[in-house]
Amino acid sequence: MTQEDLAQRIGTSLSTVRRMEDGYPGTALHTFLRALHVLGRLEDVVKVMALEQDTLGLKLVQEQLPQRVRSAGRKKPQARSSETMVKEDEAAGDDEFEGF
């Protein structure tokens, strides 16, 4: 396919196709994508841009995920033994359930 044919099929000028082939950074992305579509290579770009292929991107996303935060110095309350509970009840004079 000639440059003229490609320019006509993607709806742009010959000079744009030449600049695109030379790697001119001012060429619009949609022009590249239309050219890839006409050339039958658009699916290759989709594969390259897949998230699974972007190891750096995956690592950066994982770093931004919220982390589990534990407060320093906070201890779990210890379980009280049944003897301690009985002693506390006797000390409080709790006679409410007496006789059961």
Residue 52 pLDDT: 77
Structural contact between residues 57 and 49, judged by C-beta atoms closer than 8 angstroms: no
Q: Are 19 and 27 in contact (CB under 8 A)?
A: yes
Taking only the tens place, the pLDDT of each residue in 29-63 is 999 999 999 999 999 888 888 877 788 888 888 88
pLDDT tens digits, residue range 61-87?
Answer: 888 888 777 777 666 666 666 666 656
Q: According to the model, what pLDDT value does residue 26 have?
A: 93
Q: What angle do CA 26, 8, 43 make, to 5 degrees?
A: 70
Q: Is 16:27 a contact under the CB 8 Å cutoff?
A: yes
Does pTM surpass 0.75?
no
